[in-house]
């Protein structure tokens, strides 16, 4: 990621940080709208799951200058998600739903450079998680 992309992500995330709960619910609504077959994978209360998602995203944003430090935790997260039945094609759906959600929330502030910056962050998270899943014996 470029320093400009990191700046854009940090600033936009700070601007929405007071609304992470509702944002996570909007994200999951979009994800399940895109693929209703994913809903049964979420046995926990979706609000709790949303808090976990936003906590992870917060940690990533706070550590944009040293994402390698997060790699072990993200790989482990990918392994846990593989155990829940998450497949590699699900990451594309999650990325689309998350970018859509950010676009809804940030509105006109979600211009192409901002979208590209967030896309880079999501790709980094996804690649680390998928790498962790691939380390599993059946991966």
Tens digits of per-residue pLDDT, 44-95? 899 999 999 999 999 999 999 999 999 999 999 999 999 999 999 999 999 9
Q: What is the CATH number of domain 3-62+84-134?
A: 1.10.490.10
CA angle 19, 98, 88 (to 5 degrees): 140
- Report the distance separating Cα 124 and Cα 111, nearest Å: 20
Domain residues of the chain, as ranges? 3-62+84-134
Radius of gyration, CA atoms only, the chain: 15
User: What is the band of 137 on the pLDDT scale with cuts at 50, 70, 90?
Assistant: confident
User: Taking a C-beta distance cutoff of 8 angstroms, is the pair 75, 132 a contact?
Assistant: yes
pLDDT at position 37: 94
Q: Quick check: 139 pLDDT over 60? A: no
pLDDT above 70 covers a percentage of the chain that reads 99
- Reported as type and span, the H/E element at residue 104 is helix 88-106
- Report the distance separating Cα 85 and Cα 40, nearest Å: 10
């Amino acid at each position: 990621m470029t320093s400009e992309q990191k700046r854009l992500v940090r600033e936009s995330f700070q601007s929405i940080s007071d609304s992470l709960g509702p944002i996570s619910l909007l994200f999951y609504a979009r994800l399940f709208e895109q693929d209703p077959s994913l809903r049964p994978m979420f046995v926990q209360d979706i609000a709790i799951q949303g808090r976990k998602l936003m906590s992870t995203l917060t940690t990533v944003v706070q550590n944009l200058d040293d994402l390698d430090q997060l790699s072990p935790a993200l790989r482990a997260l990918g392994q846990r998600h593989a155990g829940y039945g998450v497949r590699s094609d699900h990451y594309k759906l999650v990325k689309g739903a998350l970018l859509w959600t950010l676009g809804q929330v940030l509105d006109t502030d979600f211009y192409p450079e901002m979208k590209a910056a967030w896309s880079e962050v999501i790709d980094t998270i996804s690649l680390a998680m998928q790498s962790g899943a691939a380390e599993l014996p059946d991966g």
